[in-house]
């Protein structure tokens, strides 16, 4: 089927589409107990010694092939889906005790043993893998602590 739309400029009177519901739910900010990431963790000894060779962020879950927003085990570099999908990262932790995982959706690092997020920019052992993942995801190194820069626009 080669149904190509003609590229000629026909004066079609396309009615605007209404009814697009753009409700966005934000993870943070709705008073849902946002906690600061921890600046320390006692479980970093299980980190992979080679943080510079990791799968790309689009890697599917190795067990169920879930395509995105997976977690990278920072101990053995297996890519597994989140607790909101099939809980394969959580199962992996329960089976192997690999407690450190990096989210490919927002590059945050979670420690299952601490039951907390870790600050990958403060904890030096996490920094290399965080940077590597950032470069793989965005194609450029992360802006160190420069995220709060806001251009103060002059009001007229």
User: Which range in 48-56, 87-95, 121-129, 146-154 contacts Zn ion by CB under 5 A?
Assistant: 87-95
Contact mark string toward Zn ion, 37..66, x via CB under 5 A: ----x-x-----------------x-xx-x
Q: According to CB under 5 A, which one of 73, 102, 107, 120 is a site residue for Zn ion? A: 73
User: Which range in 13-21, 46-54, 106-114, 145-153 contacts Zn ion by CB under 5 A?
Assistant: 106-114
Q: According to CB under 5 A, which one of 39, 76, 122, 135 is a site residue for Zn ion? A: 76
Paired residues of 116 in beta bridges: 111
> Considering the rule CB under 5 A, would residue 113 count as an interface residue with Zn ion?
yes
Can you list the positions of beta strands (E) in 1-156?
71-73, 79-80, 100-103, 109-111, 116-118
Nearest to 100 by CA among 45, 26, 33, 155: 45
> Considering the rule CB under 5 A, would residue 72 count as an interface residue with Zn ion?
no
Instruction: Specify the residue, 9 or 124, whose C-beta has the smaller distance to Zn ion.
Output: 124
- Judge whether 80 and 73 are in contact, CB under 8 Å: yes
CA 83/CA 102 separation, integer angstroms? 13
Token pair, residue 82, equals 């989140």
């Amino acid at each position: 089927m080669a149904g190509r739309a003609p590229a000629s400029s026909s004066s079609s009177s396309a009615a605007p589409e209404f009814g697009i519901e753009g409700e966005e739910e934000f993870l943070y900010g709705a008073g849902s107990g946002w906690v600061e990431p921890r600046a320390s963790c006692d479980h970093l000894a299980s980190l992979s010694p080679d943080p510079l060779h990791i799968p790309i962020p689009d890697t599917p879950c190795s067990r169920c092939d879930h395509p995105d927003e997976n977690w990278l085990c920072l101990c053995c570099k297996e890519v597994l889906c989140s607790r909101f999908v099939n809980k394969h990262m959580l199962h992996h932790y329960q089976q192997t005790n690999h407690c450190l995982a990096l989210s490919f959706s927002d590059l945050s690092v979670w420690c299952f043993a601490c039951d907390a997020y870790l600050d990958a920019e403060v904890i030096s052992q996490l920094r290399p893998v965080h940077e590597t993942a950032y470069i793989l995801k965005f194609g450029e190194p992360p802006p160190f602590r420069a995220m709060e820069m806001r251009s103060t626009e002059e009001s007229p």
